Amino acid sequence: MRAAATAALAASAASAASRRLGRRLASYAALAALAALAACAGILGLRRDAPEHFPHRAHVVAGVSCTRCHAGLDAPGPGLHLPDAATCTDGCHGRPHDARPCTGCHVSERTVAALADARAHLRFDHVRHAAIAKGNCMHCHDGVAAGAAQLRPPMATCFRCHGEAQAARTCGTCHKDLEEEGALPASHLAHDGDWLREHGARAASSGDLCEACHRESYCAGCHGRTAPVIGAALRRADPTRASVHRAGFAARHALEARADPGACTTCHAPDRCASCHAARGVGAGAGARGNPHPAGWVGLDNRHGREARRDPAACASCHGGAGEALCVGCHRVGGIGGSPHPPGWSSRQPLTAMPCRMCHPLGAAR
């Protein structure tokens, strides 16, 4: 009895020790995760060396006028009109705590870079706008008083006066070169997600909007019949760019083509496969290294018929044009191959027209 109690006590103690050990390990793991997160915070962008945006609101509340810091707005020029350290220390921050430039710490480099990008790509003249706004900067920069993070006016603010540019989608009124600028639309057409798959459905109803940024060659790079190589081949040094033919596509293209019938022919002509395979000596044809069809392809199990129904474009890639006569050898009216049409088949083509007349000589509709 005592032995059993002792054993139970020992087991209980072992269990408690095990739980304590578990809790301790969990604590260590949590600490390690926190340490890792802290170490990676800079890489992940969670920790910043400088505030993202300058505290404009505090200056406005203190009664500092915009032009007190942003001098030179009344003179045309390509400058960013950012205050230098002397402007900040002149009369206000007379005892700077550091010898480094104020903007190096009190606003992030990314914000300044975004400002420079905007200046380089937008047609904008502060002088003309200041006159129209009668010197009231907040006529356009209305986020200042609210303490908004982003002070560059959104396009909606521009459209309050330039509504005709919005209606006519004449983006060039303000944007010098949208393609070069690389700015993604702020509207519903943001190019996130799987844009390669999604763009067809989006562009169908918004083609004119696409043209605002993309030139003809952008579409023709994939959908053009005379493209020498797809665009990704010219961007080897940027592996993060999306492309339907990225990386080892040449190795897996047969699998992708068979798993998605018709996908290739949405961009390529059906005879593209045959011409490339023939040139490389791969697949069917004279001098080819192998027949792409497995044994028993044309036989009692009708495998070729099933495969042809699923992906007729694949058959047409090799057997199109004059090669179609191969089918008619068996699938003519009265031939051993029988009718290739499924039940309920209908067509608006007259029997005397192509391709009906290949199997239905003289319009025989049997």
Residues 37-96 that bind other proteins (CB under 8 A): 43-46
- Name which position in 39, 188, 287, 336 contacts other proteins (CB under 8 A): 188
Residue found under tokens 């949405």: 266
Residue 349 sits in the site that holds other proteins (CB under 8 A): yes
Cα–Cα distance, 360 to 366 (Å, whole number): 8
Task: Choose the binding region for other proteins from 9-17, 64-72, 130-138, 353-361 (rule: CB under 8 A).
Answer: 353-361
Give the H/E segment covering residue 6: helix 2-44
Residue 337 sits in the site that holds other proteins (CB under 8 A): no
Contact mark string toward other proteins, 193..232, x via CB under 8 A: xx--xx-xxxxxxxxx------xxx-xxx-xxxxxxx---
Nearest distance from C-beta of residue 166 to other proteins, angstroms = 8
Tokens (6 digits) for 231: 């665009």
- Name which position in 90, 109, 125, 301 contacts other proteins (CB under 8 A): 109
Residue 287 sits in the site that holds other proteins (CB under 8 A): no
Q: Which is nearer to other proteins, 12 or 349 (CB)?
A: 349
Whether 90 and 84 have beta carbons less than 8 Å apart is answered as no
Residue 358 sits in the site that holds other proteins (CB under 8 A): yes
Cα–Cα distance, 296 to 80 (Å, whole number): 74
Binding to other proteins (CB under 8 A) within 244-283 occurs at 247-248, 250-252, 254-256, 258-263, 265-266, 269-272, 274-276, 278-280, 282
Cα–Cα distance, 202 to 192 (Å, whole number): 12
Among 318, 319, 326, 317, residue whose Cα is nearest residue 358: 326
Residue found under tokens 């592996």: 239
Task: Choose the binding region for other proteins from 60-68, 90-98, 295-303, 334-342 (rule: CB under 8 A).
Answer: 334-342
Total chain residues near other proteins (CB under 8 A): 113
Residue 310 sits in the site that holds other proteins (CB under 8 A): yes
Among 52, 57, 53, residue whose Cα is nearest residue 138: 57
Task: Choose the binding region for other proteins from 55-63, 130-138, 143-151, 190-198 (rule: CB under 8 A).
Answer: 190-198
- Name which position in 5, 39, 134, 345 contacts other proteins (CB under 8 A): 345
Nearest distance from C-beta of residue 350 to other proteins, angstroms = 10
Cα–Cα distance, 278 to 115 (Å, whole number): 54
Tokens (6 digits) for 195: 């844009």
Sequence letter at residue 229:
V
* Sequence-ordered list of residues with C-beta below 8 angstroms from that of 200, at least 6 positions apart, any chain: none
